[in-house]
Every structure is written in C-alpha cells, then in structure tokens.
Structure 1
Amino acid sequence: MIKTIYQAFFLCIVPYFLQAQFIINSPMTRSVIQRNAANRAQLTIAGKAPGTAATIEARLIPMVVGQGTPSDWTLVATVNNDQTFRGTLPALGGWYRLEIRAKSATTVVADTAVNRVGVGEVFVIAGQSNAQGGIATDVPPAIDDRVSCIDFFQRDQIDTQTFPFLFSHVSAGASIGPSNAPYLWGILGDSLTKRLNVPILFLGAAQGGSNSTEWANSAAAAPITLPYQRVSATLLYYISRLGMRAILWHQGESDSGISEQTYFNNVNSLITKSRQQLSHSRLAWLVSRASYISGATNSQVISAQNRLSHEVADVYAGPATDGLIGPDNRVDDIHFGGQGLVRVANLWNQSLTDLFFSQSIPFTPSADTIWTDAGWQAVTSGTAFSSLQRVGYRYESSSHNFFLLVGSSSPVEGRLERLDSGDFTDTSWSVLSPTASSGYANPGFSDYGYLRFYAPGGVSPGRYRLSVRPVGDKGTGYQLETVLHDFRNTLFIGNEPTPPVQQGDLVIGSNLDLPQANFAAPGSVGNFVVNVFEVAGLPTSTGNVQLTITVPVGYTLAFAPTLTSINVSGGDHNPIVVTNGQWKVSQSVGARQLTLTMNLGAFIRGGGKSSLGFNITRTSANSGSTSFISVNAKDDLTTSYDDNQSSNVYVRIISGL
C-alpha cells in the first residue's frame, strides 16, 4: 500500500476565493468558528456558482492527519436563480481544507477549496497594557499553524467601517486586531492547541493605561466610547459571526486608590454589558488577579477581582500575576517581557482548565448571522501575480516611519503613492530588499520576505496606494489603496504555502472471501464476498468509488442490490453481513463482468470497509480447468480520491472439478 499526497496552493483574493468564476465568500482562510459543548459547529458556505451549476457539495479534510475529523461530500445548498448559494456544513473541532464542488445533476462542473478553516476556540482579550502588549520587543511567534488573529491595529479610534475579515497566523510581528500586539498570546495559543487539538483565534480589545472607571463609564455612555468601544465593536462585528468562548480580562494596575466595591461594580457592569450585547447571559469571563505596578500592589483590587469569580455567575479566576516581579519578568517593573511572557502565558493556560472548558457555555452564532464576507477590504486594481503571497506595512504615525512589506516566492518591486492632498514625492518603483539582508531584520517581518524602508518624516498620515509587481515587469502592478494605521497591518493574503494534504487509499488486498473455490459440476454456485477497505483514515468521495469484478469464460456472475447477508461457500463465520444496498450496477459485459458504483450519498468511512456479496455459477467450464477471478477497486476517472491503484487489484484462482 502506498499512501499518496499532493501539494496544493490556492489564491485568496480578499474577500473572495475564486476559481473559474466559482466564488467562495464564506468561510475565509484561517478563520476559526467557535465550537459548542459537543465539539461541533455549523460552517456557513456561501458564494456564487458557475452558470450551469444546480447544487453545491462540500467536505472537510484535516490539514494534518489527526487534527480534525474528515467528512464526506455533503449537499449544502441549492443554487439560486442569480447563481448565489448559501448553506451549512456540520463540522467537528479541527483545522481543515474545505473542498467545495458545484454540480449539474451528477456532473461536477467546477471545484475549489479553502485551506486552513478552523473549528475551535475564540477568545477576546481586554484590559490594559499587560493585556494589550506592545512594550516587549523580543516576542516569540506562535509555532503552531493553528493560532490565528486578524492582523490590523486601530490605536486612537475604532472605525468598524475599516474592520477587515482577513485572518493571519500569530507571527512575531502580527497585530492582534483590532487593538493588541502579539505579546504573550502566541505562546498561550501554542499551549492551547497542544492541549485541545483545535485551532485558536485571538481578537485584541485592550487599551493601555486604562482604569476600571474609564471602562465602566465608556460602556454606559451613549454612544459607547473608548476604551469599552474596543470590546463592543469586536463583539458586534466579529463575535456575532464567529462565536467565542470567553473574554480574557487583565487589568488593575492603573486603579490605585480605588475601593474594593467600586472596582467590583465597574468590572461587573462590563460583564453585564457584554452579555447584553450578545444576548448571551452566560458569556464567560476570566478575570486576572493583577494590581502590581512599580513595586506596589493593591489589596482592594485583588479582593474585588477574587469576588468577581466567586460571586458573579460564569466568571472564572484568571492568573494571579502580582508575584511575577524582577527584571527577568518585567522589563520596566510594570510590563512583562522575556521569561515573564512565558510565565504569564503558562499561568493563563493553567487558568483555562479542563473544568472551565466543560462548564463554560460558549456563544455560538446562528447560521443567519455567520457572514464572513462583510469585511472592509483595501481598494484594489490590477491582478495579483502568482508568486505574490501577502502585502502589508508597518507604520509609526508619530515618527512617520514606514515599511512596505511583501511576501513573495520571487523578487519584487514596489512603490508608494499619496492619494489625498498631503505632500509625498518618493513615488518611484524600486526593487525591494530581502528582509533577512536588509539591515531591518525585525522579527516582526519574518513572514514577509521583502521590504522597503521609508525614513522617518517622509510618510505622513493619510491615504496611500501600495503597488507591487515582479522584478522586470513594466506594468502598474497589483495595487492596494488604504488609509494608514499604526503598527503592522496586512492588506492582502494570496498564495500562502500549505502543507501536503493526505489522500485516501482503497485496498482490496487478499480480502476476497471464497474459501471453497472449487466448482464441482456445471450449474454449481459459489457465494463470495469482496471487502473494500479504506486504510488512510479519510472517507471516500460520495458515489465515486467503483468496483469491477470479472469471472473467466465458462462462469457467470450475479449481484443482488437487495442482499443484506450471504453464506460464503465454505466459510466459517456465516452468515456474513453485506452492504449491497450501497451499490448499483453501472456497467456489465455479458454475464462475466460487472462494474458497480456506490450510490450517491453512500461512502466508505475513514478506516472502514464495505462488503459486497456475489454469486458465481459454473456454466461451461471444463472439468479440471483452472481460471481466475479478478477484482479492481478505484475512484472515478478523475482519481480525485485515490490515485494509488497498486493496492486496489486482487486475483483469485477458481477451479472446475
């Protein structure tokens, strides 16, 4: 048996996934949908089909074997008159390649896929700077591919009209939008994926320097203001579509002089507000015990934080961090850094106990609200070239420092143009430097292979066009227009490399069950069973598997689709249960050869088998003759499921006495 793999690359043009006019709006690559208490979620699949399509089918294949449960082809939607479609696909927790195909009757007219679609755990991070991050510079990335974020940052104001739906890996330089740096969250994400074996999505809604009174007052304001606006916008814009497990709250350092009751009331009002906004009265919060700042702690704050987890339903105790002091833990006697990041992440992991995951009630959105194509996107023109993987920038509005960042499998040129009334003259094309040798080898640029640096003072805030093209190309390139925001922002994700995805494997082997293979006289009948095994752990394609059986001259072959059990000639374990009802005869050659195809909707489960019962009758075979039965199992002509035929053929001797 040889297991086969293939390498696939896909183009994701925000917010659509497009192949030959087969457009997928939902879900987006690297998105994570919150699973429910039963480890399940409903994936909304929406888009636009080719003109001849009538139905849409989809299935899930784990990106890595063991990181999810594969599903078989399932009908998810009927195509509307305007060629749009929308439906849902049940999914268990995991990290998947979502395969989608459009069909006209039984003919596949188009297919496509979205890599890295997650069903797992979603968290919102809120509080002040030790939740937000940005102070520590030596920040490790998430190692596990399954830790996601939305790579954008809004510092001074929240504008949901420019909230993207473009998901990224939590790398060292990524922003955890809308408001956080990567900080310790990539470390925590790795710990959680290892423990839970599901993907993790973090959304950042913290604000440095904020105190609990500011949070409470902003939540009560009409309209809602900062800092609570960061949480409010995240809940209403992202969580309403994706779902979530809990809010992770770390705040208290800025509340010197506050009374225990005031702090309790302030944070309790935020908990109540968030639950009202989602109409989910049991939305979980984890509240850190945190008050340390520059050598001082506050027992009133700690007492209030303890009371919240003891007295308010569905509030759980987060990490106690006041004991993490000294230069090995805090870079400035306030903010965590170095090994302190690892230690705080470990404390968060310990607080997110198995009991918490079993008791907390996640918010899961209804199918009517899961629309992941509603995000803002940079205005684009031109065509994304095949080697282009991602485009973004890092910006500091205070100094006008600007980095144009491009991920590409080949060298690129880039330029920047001002679109509003501001002054900017450096608009020429230039070859971007490889990041590793540019002199600006910031760990935050590790997922971008090329960059161009614009010196401080040159790029003032405003609206700009970022253009990229392959070196040697003389065209206008692929262009993205955007208003600049601070820190790192990803505008485009294209051909992101993917790991090999394992295909399934059918095996006949020696599984033809006919212990008594001798036919004594003309007219004698032998009953036998063919077992078709799937051995790679992936279910077969619905209705595609074919089985061809050929008997020699002098014998005939019969198959009854209504048969449910059979007594194998000479068998020791009769009767044998068979699944003939899953199959139909699709072709016959005389009475000596039958080709059977699995019925639409029937499939062989990963690691499972299908057993078929047949009858062989000796007609004119000579006495003393020796001949062969041959059995061949395969996928359809596209071999989209199993292109390894070496293990799919079996030959068995039969004799006429």
Structure 2
Amino acid sequence: MKKYRRVSRKVVGLTTIFIAAFFSVLVLTNTLGLRTILFLDTKIHTWSNIQNGQVVQRANKGESFLQLSGRVGLLAKSVEVVIASPELQIIQPENWISLDSSPRFSYFEGKISTFPGWIKVFGRSQGTGYRIDNGIQVGIGEVFIVVGQSNAAGSSKSLFISNSEKVRSGQFQEDGSILWKHGDDPQVRGGGGSPWPLVGDMLAKKLGVPIGFINVAVGGSSIRDWKPGSENFRQLIRAIEASNPYGVRAILWHQGESDQGMTSDEYYTQLVTVIRETQRASKSEIKIPWLVARATYGEGKVSEAVREAQKRIWDDGIALEGPDTDSLDTPYRETLDGVHFNEAGTYNAAKLWYQKIDDAFFKNS
C-alpha cells in the first residue's frame, strides 16, 4: 500500500511537471494567443479613452490636455508618448515623454498637455527594448451633443457632406459604442440629411479647429420620451460620459414638433427636469450649457404654448437662446408631412444654428 502511494505521488508530480512545461511552451510560442491573453508581454494592448478620428473638447483658456489610459503587458516597465503636430515629420528620441513610469497590474494612465488642432498620439512601452504602437489621430477642438427629434437627428431626403476635414461625427452603434467618422450625413444610423455637416463647416472655417458632433436625437420623440430613466435619457448620459474627462462645449436641443397639444407649464417643467437631472446623472464636474431652439412647426402651424415655454427657459437662465426654426415655414418643409426640413430648410436651419452657437460662445474669437 505504501509502495502504491509513493508511485501515485510520483505519477502526480510528473504529470504536474509535464502540464506546467506544456503550458509554458504554449505561452512562449503564443499558441492560441495565450501570451497576449495573459498580458505576458511588453506591448500596449489598448487605449481606453481615445480612438482614431475622435474630437475632444479643448480647454477654454490656456493649454488643453489629454487624459490617456489603457492596458499594457505585465512585463512593460513604463509607457511613453509623443504628441505629434501635423508639421512633425520625424520623431526623434528626445521627443518621447513619460506618461506612466510604473504601470500597475497592466493598467497605465497619465495626463499630457497638448494644443488645439489635429495631433497624432504615438505610444511606446519599455521592457526588453521598446514596443511602439501605431499613431492615433485625435482632434482637440469643439464638441457638441445634439438632442431632440427628427429635425435634429436628420430627416431631409438630401444628405449633406462636410467639405472640411476638420468635421467629425461620433455615431452610436448597436453595441453602444461610438464610431468616430467624417462629419457627413447620416448622423444617426438610418438617418437622413441634417444641418450638422454644414454647421460644422462654418464653425471649422471660423475657428480653425476640429469640430465634433455626437447625435442622440430620436425621430418623433416627445419631451415626455426624454424624462429621467427613459432609454433616450440614458443614451444622452452615455454621450456625456463618453466625452469625459474633457466635457463638451454645449448640448443642442431641437424638439417640440411632437408636443403641439401640450400646455406651456407642462413642457417647461419637463424640459427643466431633463436639463437639471442630466447634470446630476452624468456626475460631471463640468456644468454643460444647453442651447434650446424654438421648434414647434408642423402642418402649417406652430404651438404658441410650447414656444412660450422654450422662451421662458431662456429668460429664466436655465438654457441659452437657440434658433427660432419655426421661422422656416412651408417652403422649407417636405411637402408630404409639412414638418421635416427639405433641402432649402436644412441649409437655412444650419445658418440659424451656426449664428446662435457663434453668438453664445465665439463672438469674440
């Protein structure tokens, strides 16, 4: 019996050694990607809060910054970056600056000062030598979140193309991620033509910096569909959180056509609640300004009650004054529904929005 136990322990020991050796070979040869899965290397695996083509909000005064983080192999000793301007053609050894000198359990993070405009972020990790990651293009400029119903989402039969390489759109995908693309329509998946490529072109021409729009508008939505806890409200919060820690310049609200029968007091109360609860739910340290449009036109008429509520929100200092798109009547609307902007209406809505955004933030730029 004792002899059997000794043999059994020996077999178990040899089996354990064999399994460990076999597993080590798998890791060393990266079979099945095990070395990568277990972070047993020195490379930068992911960047957590930037993606290629993204626009982040610049600072109001002084230098802007990038808050960079991600995952790196466990064998990496440090992470360094280069912030490259479009004019930089050669990266010299002295261009590299430390981002995180001691990553913790494969996580790295750091804050780097930068400047407005398009830049490229190159990263490298140090272990046994250097592992250099591909450059990521990021725009430091002006970012806006668009909220409301179909005329905000884009409903024109004509799609609009941004003429500026500085204009980008952050489009929500089915899995909840945001895909940053050129600023052409559609702004939302399955949407139509919108004012935002045109507004972006006008802003880019004046300011000379990248312009980004994240559009969460939903066609046909009532103000009631944006109440805290609704899916529309949660999507708005996701857009704000995706823009952290930089924030956005403003939230652009264009809604009201679906609420023509609503009283002024109800619309006012509902929108004030959305604005205030957005700040609370997003847990953002930065208070985001809202621009609220006067938008109620449909089938040849407007809602004076909703218009009065929208103006009262301006007068009470809860939101800034947005455009009066009710001034774009029948000749600027699609013939079949009398609500959605046609091509001419979209052009003119873009001019109205640009003027109010410029008045609110960039008059002296």
Give the TM-score, by structure 2 length.
Answer: 0.76
Q: 1:52 deviation in Å?
A: 6.6
2:311 to 306, 309, 312: 306
- Alignment partner for residue 204 of structure 1, among 185, 195, 215? 215
What is the Cα deviation at residue 272 of structure 1? 0.7
- Residue 250 of structure 2 aligns with which residue? 246
Whether 1:140 aligns to 2:160 is: yes
Number of the residue aligned with 2:146: 125
Match of 1:74 in 2: 97
Match of 1:110 among 127, 131, 134: 131
8 A contact 2:55–2:210 mirrored in 1: yes
CA shift, 1:50, in A, is 6.3
Aligned partner of residue 254 in structure 1, secondary structure: helix
Q: Partner of 1:31 in structure 2?
A: 54
Q: Are 1:89 and 2:112 matched, yes or no?
A: yes
Partner residue in 2 for 1:269: 273
- Give the conservation status (yes or no) of the 8 Å contact 2:187–2:194: no
Structure 1 residue 144: Cα displacement: 1.8
- Cα pair distance change 1:62/1:129, threshold 3 Å: same
Check whether the contact 2:237–2:282 (CA below 8 A) recurs between aligned residues: no
Determine the C-alpha separation between the residues in 1 that align with 2:282 and 2:44: 34
Aligned to 1:459: none
1:257 maps to 261
Cα distance 1:130–1:275, how it changes in 2: closer, same or farther (>3 A)?
Answer: same
Amino acid at match of 2:108: F
- The AA in structure 1 aligned to 2:45 is I
Q: How does 1:331-410 map to 2 (within 5 A)?
A: 331-332=335-336, 333-353=338-358, 355-357=360-362
How far did residue 36 of structure 1 move? 2.3
2: CA distance, partners of 1:321 / 1:266: 21
Asked if 2 retains the 8 angstrom alpha-carbon contact of 1:180 and 1:204, the reply is: no
- Call closer, same or farther: CA 1:214–1:317 in 2, change over 3 Å: same
Q: CA deviation at 1:83?
A: 4.9
Give the Cα separation in 2 of the matches to 1:164 and 1:148: 16
Describe the superposition over 1:550-605 as per-residue Cα deviations: whole angstroms up to 9, x where unpaired. Answer: xxxxxxxxxxxxxxxxxxxxxxxxxxxxxxxxxxxxxxxxxxxxxxxxxxxxxxxx
In the TM superposition, what is the alpha-carbon distance from 1:150 to its structure 2 partner?
3.2
User: By how many angstroms is 1:200 displaced?
Assistant: 2.0
Matching residue of 1:480: none
Please tell me whether the aligned partners of residues 39 and 93 of structure 1 are also in contact (alpha carbons under 8 angstroms): no
2:177: which partner in 1? 164
Q: Secondary structure at the match of 1:283?
A: coil
Residues 176 and 60 of structure 1: CA distance in aligned 2, closer, same or farther (over 3 Å)? farther
Asked if 1:296 is matched to 2:309, the reply is no
In structure 2, how many angstroms separate the alpha carbons of the residues matched to 1:256 and 1:61?
A: 51
What CA distance in whole angstroms lies between the structure 1 residues aligned with 2:221 and 2:243?
23
Q: Residue 136 of structure 1 aligns to a residue in which SS?
A: coil
Rg larger in structure = 1
Provide the rounded CA distance (Å) in 1 between the counterparts of 2:231 and 2:133. Answer: 42
Question: 1:108 and 1:148 mapped to 2: Cα distance?
Answer: 37
Which residue does 2:205 correspond to in 1? 194
Distance 2:181 2:239 in 1: 17
| Shift in Å, 1:338 | 0.9
The structure whose residues are more often helix, as a share, is 2
> In the alignment, which residue of structure 2 is the partner of 1:176?
188
TM-superposition CA deviations, 1:377-435 (whole Å, max 9, x none) = xxxxxxxxxxxxxxxxxxxxxxxxxxxxxxxxxxxxxxxxxxxxxxxxxxxxxxxxxxx
Q: Could you tell me whether the CA contact under 8 Å between 2:171 and 2:214 is conserved in 1?
A: no
Structure 2 vs 1, CA of residues 228 and 181 (structure 1 numbering), >3 Å: closer, same or farther? farther
1:49/1:79 contact within 8 Å kept: no
> Take 1:120 and 1:95, find their aligned partners in 2: how far apart are those partners?
8
For 1:58 and 1:88, the matched residues in 2 are separated by 11
Change beyond 3 A, Cα 1:103–1:341: same
Listed as ranges, the gaps of 5+ residues in structure 2 are: 1-41, 89-93
Per the alignment, do residues 239 and 136 of structure 1 end up closer, same or farther by CA in structure 2, a change over 3 Å counting? Answer: same
Letter in 1 for 2:85: P
Cα shift at 1:149: 2.3
Residue 116 of structure 1, CA deviation: 2.1
Amino acid aligned to 1:184: P
User: Whose strand proportion is higher, 1 or 2?
Assistant: 1
Q: 2:170 aligns with which of 150, 155, 166?
A: 150
Q: Helix, strand or coil for the counterpart of 1:322?
A: helix
Residues 169 and 184 of structure 2 are in contact (CA less than 8 Å); yes or no, is this contact kept in structure 1? no
Superposition RMSD in Å: 3.0
Q: Following the alignment from structure 1 to structure 2, what is the Cα–Cα distance between the partners of residues 22 and 270? A: 40
| Map of 1:320 onto structure 2 | 324
Mark the runs of 5 or more structure 1 residues left unpaired by the alignment: 1-19, 66-70, 155-161, 360-657
Give the drift of 1:181: 5.2
Change in Cα spacing, 1:72 to 1:289, as seen in structure 2 (3 Å) is farther
Distance 1:152 1:48, change over 3 A: closer
Deviation at 1:54, TM superposition (A): 3.0
Aligned in 2, Cα 1:25/1:182: closer, same or farther, shift over 3 Å? Answer: farther
Q: Note the alpha carbon deviations across 1:49-101, whole angstroms, 9 max, x for none.
A: 56775332222223369xxxxx9532211143655422121122221111223
Q: Structure 1, residues 166-213: CA drift from partner, whole Å, max 9, x if none?
A: 3222233x4436x96562211111112222222222112222222223
Size of the aligned set, in residue pairs, is 316
**How many Å apart are 1:290 and its aligned residue?**
1.2
The letter of the residue matching 1:137 is K
Per the alignment, in what secondary structure is the counterpart of residue 257 of structure 2? coil
User: In structure 1, what is the Cα distance between the partners aligned to 2:73 and 2:238?
Assistant: 36
CA distance in 1, matches of 2:235, 2:44: 36
Residue aligned with 1:176, SS: coil
